[in-house]
Amino acid sequence: MCILRSFATFSSASRLNLNKSKSEIYFNGVQNGTVENIIQFSGFHRGALPFKHLGVPISSKKLTKEQGLKLTDKIVARIRGYGARYLSYAGRVTLVNSVLSTLHSYWAIIFLIPYGIMNKINAICMNYLWSGKADYKKAPNIRWDICCLPKTEGGLGIKESKSWNKALLGKYVWWLAKKKDHLWVRWVSHVYMKGKNWTDYKAPLDSSWSWRRINYIMQLFKQAYTNNRWHNTDVSYNVADGYDWLRNRQSKVQWRYLCWNSLNVPKCAFIYWAIMHSKLLTKDRLLRMGVPVTVDCEICGVQLETHQHLFIECAFTQTCSTILQQRLRVRIRLQDLVGWYSDGRTATKLQKRFIGACHISLMYEIWKVRNEARVHGYVRSPSTIVEHVLGSIKSRCLKKNYSTLSRKDQT
| Span 1-27, pLDDT tens digits | 677 777 778 788 887 787 777 778 877
Helix (H, G, I), strand (E, B) or coil at 214: helix
- The DSSP symbol for 29 reads S
Instruction: Let me know: does 173 contact 222? Beta carbons within 8 Å.
Output: yes
162: nearest Cα among 203, 112, 209 = 112
Highest mean pLDDT among 212-216, 301-305, 370-374, 403-407: 370-374
Q: Is the peptide bond before 50 cis (omega within 30 degrees of 0)?
A: yes
| Span 116-152, pLDDT tens digits | 888 888 888 888 888 888 887 778 889 999 999 999 9
Q: What are the helix and strand counts (H, E) for the chain? A: 21, 6
| Span 269-298, pLDDT tens digits | 999 999 999 999 999 898 888 888 888 888
Q: What is the pLDDT of residue 59?
A: 67
Cα gap 195→84, rounded to integer Å: 52
| Span 44-80, pLDDT tens digits | 778 777 777 776 777 666 777 777 777 788 888 877 7
- The DSSP symbol for 296 reads B
Query: pTM of the predicted model, to two decimals?
Result: 0.82
Per-position DSSP letters for 117-169, written without gaps between them: HHHHHHHHHHHHHHHSSS---SPPSS-HHHHTS-GGGTS--PPPHHHHHHHHH
Cα gap 146→136, rounded to integer Å: 19
| Span 184-227, pLDDT tens digits | 888 888 888 887 888 888 888 888 878 888 888 888 998 888 88
